[in-house]
Structure 1
């Protein structure tokens, strides 16, 4: 895993996919665009003090939902957003072994880093 991307994904999940974000987001379910629409463009950040910029959270959301291969996106969502399942349940849901799970997670980190860097270039 890439440590910087790991930290960004943890904060992305906390910002957009935690139970707190979903209850705050109402019908938007933590979707950044939907939250902006609900608030008429005036989104006030919470007091959690996220270290991921609003743009980066939106970029990561777009990358995970639209640009990652489905098997990679599934592992990312399971690893960072699903805190209620045990590891064996995550492996069963992703239909892979522990080794494959972490290989996919690393591949997702590499892809996300590449897409974020490509956006900055």
Structure 2
């Protein structure tokens, strides 16, 4: 694993894919958050440390640029907090060793795409 990418993905999942809400009853529901803030939505209200641009870039990379098996694995690993690790392997259809090899491949791919985006 690439530590920096691992950290970015954890923060991305927390920022964009977490059911844990901000203070109050809004939760992850956009309408509830708008009602709670009287129509004024400020991005990053969950205390995200990922820059909004990076978070959006990671979302785009995971959704559009990663091969499907890596995209599923990244979502399963970072966004699914309800399953045991063995259940995640099963969901991804691979062994523990293959799971971590693919996770590393995903990290390399994401790092390469983020670096390419900055260089452009």
Fold similarity call, TM over 0.5: yes
Extract unaligned runs of 5+ from structure 1: 28-38
SS of residue in 1 equivalent to 2:82: coil
SS of residue in 2 equivalent to 1:84: coil
Inter-partner Cα distance in structure 2 for 1:26 and 1:50: 16
Is contact 2:15–2:44 with CA below 8 Å preserved after alignment?
Answer: no
Report the structure, 1 or 2, having the larger helix content.
Answer: 1
Alignment of 1:5-84 (within 5 A): 5-20=5-20, 23-26=27-30, 43-46=42-45, 48-84=46-82
Extract unaligned runs of 5+ from structure 2: 32-38
Indicate the residue corresponding to 2:117 in structure 1.
Answer: 119
Is contact 2:5–2:107 with CA below 8 Å preserved after alignment?
Answer: yes
Inter-partner Cα distance in structure 2 for 1:25 and 1:56: 22
Inter-partner Cα distance in structure 2 for 1:45 and 1:4: 20
Inter-partner Cα distance in structure 1 for 2:85 and 2:27: 26
SS of residue in 1 equivalent to 2:20: helix
Q: TM-score, normalised by structure 1?
A: 0.82
Q: TM-score, normalised by structure 2?
A: 0.82
Q: Max radius of gyration: which structure?
A: 2
- Residue 92 of structure 1 is aligned with which of 90, 93, 96? 90
Please state how far the C-alpha of 1:51 moved relative to its aligned partner: 1.4
1:56-94: per-residue Cα shift (whole Å, max 9, x none)? 000000000000000101110010000100111111110
Please report the RMSD computed on the Cα atoms of aligned residues, expressed in angstroms: 1.9
